[in-house]
């Protein structure tokens, strides 16, 4: 299995390849579909090799080009059912900020959000915790890691690679997301991710990080909990 990272406006899109085809983990901002398909072609595949468009959660930087990609590839869109509510209307959804600064920034973005509306959709595949992706040709499973949103998903590959979406970011260092719907859930999901013992984590924002960096983050999370 090979993983190719493509920055698609705000977040990363991952082109996951094996001998049976391609899985996209996240679909980028609106108007990124052609770029993503060009990257797929550049790697020696045709658009019809895409077996699944897995959207880790319903935010526009992850779901923005899902509909356009489905049209270009014919692949189904998968999402956790708890996030379907986020993609049925085009307006920008930003959860409460984790800090006062991100809450202020979020309020500004919510006000400006109509500039780039989401192309709405109903997911073709509703993924649940633990669901295998073998039907789509990949030795991987969906893991429910809520908190950032109620339906946030991670994807654990059998080889130890884990796509964490926005559950954990690595912009400056490994950290919680800037926005979250439910802080205790996000903490529980970070511990759940740690318990999966991933070899490498691919975050949607920032660079991939290894088990050692994850370990250091989890140690900080546990210390904060004790202090609280």
Tell the smallest beta-carbon distance from residue 116 to Zn ion (Å).
14
Give the DSSP H/E element, type plus range, for residue 214. Answer: helix 211-227
Total binding residues for Zn ion by CB under 5 A? 5
Of 17, 26, 61, 83, which lies in the binding site for Zn ion, with binding defined by CB under 5 A?
61
Shortest separation between residue 166's beta carbon and Zn ion, angstroms: 4
Shortest reach from residue 66's CB to Zn ion, in Å: 14
Angle separating helix axes 183-195 and 211-227, nearest 10 degrees: 140
Closer CB to Zn ion, 52 or 186, in the complex: 186
**Binding of Zn ion by 181 (CB under 5 A):** no
Q: Which residues have C-beta within 8 Å of that of residue 44, sequence separation ≥ 6?
A: none
How many C-beta atoms surround the C-beta of residue 173 within 10 A?
12
Of positions 26, 83, 166, 181, contacts Zn ion by CB under 5 A: 166
Angle of CA points 127, 121, 33, to nearest 5°: 95
Q: Contacting Zn ion (CB under 5 A), which of 22, 33, 56, 59?
A: 59
- Which one of residues 6, 11, 75, 77 is an interface residue with Zn ion (CB under 5 A)? 11
User: Count H helices, E strands: the chain?
Assistant: 6, 13
Q: Point out which residues bind Zn ion (CB under 5 A).
A: 11, 59, 61, 166, 204
């Amino acid at each position: 299995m090979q993983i190719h990272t493509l920055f698609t406006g705000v977040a990363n899109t991952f082109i996951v390849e094996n001998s049976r085809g391609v899985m996209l983990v996240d679909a980028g901002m609106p108007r990124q579909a052609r770029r993503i398909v060009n990257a797929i072609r550049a790697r020696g595949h045709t658009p019809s090799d895409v077996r699944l468009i897995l959207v880790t959660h319903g935010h526009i930087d992850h779901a923005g080009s899902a509909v356009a990609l489905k049209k270009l590839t014919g692949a189904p869109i998968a999402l956790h059912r708890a996030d379907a509510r986020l993609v049925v209307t085009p307006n920008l959804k930003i959860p409460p900020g984790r800090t006062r600064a991100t809450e202020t920034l979020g309020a500004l973005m919510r006000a400006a959000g109509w500039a780039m509306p989401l192309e709405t959709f109903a997911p073709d595949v509703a993924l649940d915790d633990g669901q295998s992706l073998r039907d789509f040709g990949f030795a991987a499973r969906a893991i429910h890691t809520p908190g950032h949103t109620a339906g946030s998903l991670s994807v654990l590959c059998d080889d130890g690679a884990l796509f964490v979406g926005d559950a954990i970011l690595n912009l400056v260092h490994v950290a919680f997301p800037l926005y979250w719907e439910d802080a205790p859930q996000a903490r529980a999901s970070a511990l759940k991710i740690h318990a999966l013992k991933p070899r490498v984590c691919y975050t949607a924002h920032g660079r991939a990080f290894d088990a050692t960096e994850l370990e250091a983050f989890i140690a900080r999370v546990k210390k904060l909990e004790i202090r609280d």
